[in-house]
Amino acid sequence: MELHSGSLYWPTTLKQYPEYPKLDQPAECDVLIIGGGEAGAQMAHRLSLYNIDTILVEKNTVAGGSSSANTGLLQFANDKMLTSFAKKLGEDKAVKFYKRCLKAIDDLEVYTRNLEFSSDFIRRKSLFYASSRSDVKKLLKEYEMLRKHRFPVSLLQPHEISTFFPFEKDLAILSDLDAEINPFKLVVALIREAHKNGVRVYENTEVLGHEFAKDSGGTHTFRTPKGTIEAKHVIYCTGYATAEFANIKKAVNNRSYAIVTQPVKDLSSWHERVLIWETKQPYLYMRTTPDNRIVAGGLDEQIKDPTDDPGVLREKGDELLRLVREHFPVIPDLAIAHEWSATFGESRDGLPFMGNHPKHENVFFLLGYGGNGSVYCTIGADIIKDLILYGYSPDSALTALDR
Ligand SMILES: Cc1cc2nc3c(=O)[nH]c(=O)nc-3n(C[C@H](O)[C@H](O)[C@H](O)COP(=O)(O)OP(=O)(O)OC[C@H]3O[C@@H](n4cnc5c(N)ncnc54)[C@H](O)[C@@H]3O)c2cc1C
């Protein structure tokens, strides 16, 4: 399954990165991680902090999947508003999940701060605006519930929005304690650190078959092109293709688009370089980069594969650029440097899939489906680490595969 098409930006931001060998002989480990994207990287990093004997295998190269198409916004607010989660899950559970997302951004800040290589984690506020007058009431309710539960938000009235930004909107929520990141650098840096801490990493090594353990607590056997791997535990970090092979019915794959502009001379009209998104679904979102570019994404379609038609890619790229110009008419000479389309996996209930296989012992999935995939992978790596180490995680019920 192709995960993206077009010209990605993030891989161009890192001139040199480590390469890892192919597995060419049989191997044994306590934990096997399948997949070298953000989920696998977070998982390998976390297990390496506990000296767990771990192997990570990636069928292509590290960070080459959806994680390099990610636009790198780290937000505690989800695609589903807190009010909407509260209706479905109950207010207590919904608030608990939102708070866990808020904490995950703090956790990721600490994890990245302790890595040898930077992943450009920068604290940002988020501006979540009402796309139309008819969304104002909904946004106000969302703000009230967020405030009630002491989330770090404030409300911006139209005159405040137009004071801070060169566009007009009817209402917006300004959230504190969000962040931006370079997702490609993040994966490379996490895996590098895990490798330094003893995790064995193999690229160009595809898992072709899984023979499940016969007895409780037994060993799982995995077939790769050059040798088998025996492992007591396995964590599938195989991204958006997993829903199909694991038959996860509550997941759906769509197509999304993103652009990155050429560097811009003056971004002073972009108040505090906040992350910007809106109430409309699918939503437009925008951020800036440390080298003064603008990233914009959205225009999601109910098609599961990325487009291989350069004409479609150009048309969608132009549409995203038009929307950026509409918001920031004061920024001259905006031009696209990179445009891509990508598969974007979501769950029907808005929650990721992270935890035990419902039937097989010591088999786990870490699938950060949804717009907050990076935040989810941060939470999920801690959940699965706890399940492996202690047989229990306080956060696992909401994201269980058989929920
Ligand atoms: C356009 C776009 C924008 C996004 N923006 C954001 C954002 O702003 N903020 C956010 O939080 N999230 C965002 N996301 C979501 C985020 O990118 C994903 O949640 C995250 O990348 C998922 O990482 P992953 O490791 O699960 O998947 P991947 O990065 O795809 O990694 C899975 C890896 O598994 C490997 N693999 C698969 N099968 C096998 C096998 N049998 N053997 C060995 N290896 C195998 C694949 O080759 C791949 O490298 C965005 C996603 C897209 C597409």
**pLDDT, tens only, 8-21:** 999 999 999 899 99
Contacts of residue 245, Cβ cutoff 8 Å, sequence gap at least 6:
238
Look at residues 207, 221, 228, 249 and name the one whose alpha carbon lies nearest to residue 358.
249
Q: Is the minimum distance from the CB of 38 to ligand 1 under 6 angstroms?
A: yes
Residue nearest (by alpha carbon) to ligand 1 atom 31: 37
Look at residues 199, 307, 327 and name the one whose alpha carbon lies nearest to residue 256.
307
Q: How far apart are CA 204 and CA 126, in angstroms?
A: 38
Counting ligand 1 atoms within 8 A of each CB, the residue from 61, 67, 185, 379 with the most, and so the one to mutate, is: 67
Flag whether the pTM goes above 0.85. yes
Q: What angle do CA 173, 176, 180 make, to 5 degrees?
A: 105
Q: What is the pLDDT of residue 248?
A: 76
Q: Is the peptide bond before 290 cis (omega within 30 degrees of 0)?
A: no
Q: C-alpha distances in angstroms, 318 versus 212, 260, 335, 336?
A: 49, 11, 9, 8
Give strand ranges (E) for 130-274.
Answer: 153-156, 172-180, 200-202, 209-211, 220-223, 228-236, 251-261
Look at residues 132, 130, 128, 371 and name the one whose alpha carbon lies nearest to residue 256.
371
Do residues 305 and 2 lie in contact, with contact meaning Cβ atoms separated by under 8 Å? yes
Q: C-alpha distances in angstroms, 40 versus 85, 353, 378, 393?
A: 27, 14, 10, 19
Contacts of residue 199, Cβ cutoff 8 Å, sequence gap at least 6:
44, 47, 48, 54, 55, 56, 191
Task: Fill in the DSSP letter of residue 164.
Answer: H
Q: Which residue has the tokens 């437009």?
A: 284
Q: Is the minimum distance from the CB of 316 to ligand 1 under 6 angstroms?
A: no
Look at residues 85, 72, 300, 27 and name the one whose alpha carbon lies nearest to residue 184.
72
Residue 315 gets the label, from left (phi > 0), alpha (psi -120 to 50) or beta, of: alpha
Q: Is the minimum distance from the CB of 3 to ligand 1 under 6 angstroms?
A: yes
Residue nearest (by alpha carbon) to ligand 1 atom 16: 373
Contacts of residue 281, Cβ cutoff 8 Å, sequence gap at least 6:
79
Q: What is the pLDDT of residue 312?
A: 94
Q: What is the pLDDT of residue 245?
A: 67
Compute, in angstroms, the gap from residue 239 CA to the centroid of ligand 1.
Answer: 5
| Torsion angle in degrees (nearest 10) through CA of 41, 46, 51, 56 | -20
Q: What angle do CA 41, 44, 49 make, to 5 degrees?
A: 125
DSSP assignment string, 177-207:
EEEE--HHHHHHHHHHHHHHTT-EEESS---
Residue 86 gets the label, from left (phi > 0), alpha (psi -120 to 50) or beta, of: alpha
Overall size of the chain counted in residues? 403
- pLDDT below 50 — which residues of the chain? none
Counting ligand 1 atoms within 8 A of each CB, the residue from 32, 374, 375, 376 with the most, and so the one to mutate, is: 374
Contacts of residue 277, Cβ cutoff 8 Å, sequence gap at least 6:
73, 75, 126, 127, 128, 129, 283, 284, 285, 286
Tell me the domains of the chain and their CATH numbers. Answer: 4-69+184-249+350-390 (3.50.50.60), 253-347 (3.30.9.10)
Counting ligand 1 atoms within 8 A of each CB, the residue from 238, 284, 287, 384 with the most, and so the one to mutate, is: 238
Instruction: Give the model confidence (pLDDT) of 217-274 as tens digits.
Output: 899 999 999 989 999 999 999 999 887 667 777 888 999 999 999 999 999 999 999 9
Look at residues 160, 203, 168 and name the one whose alpha carbon lies nearest to residue 44.
203
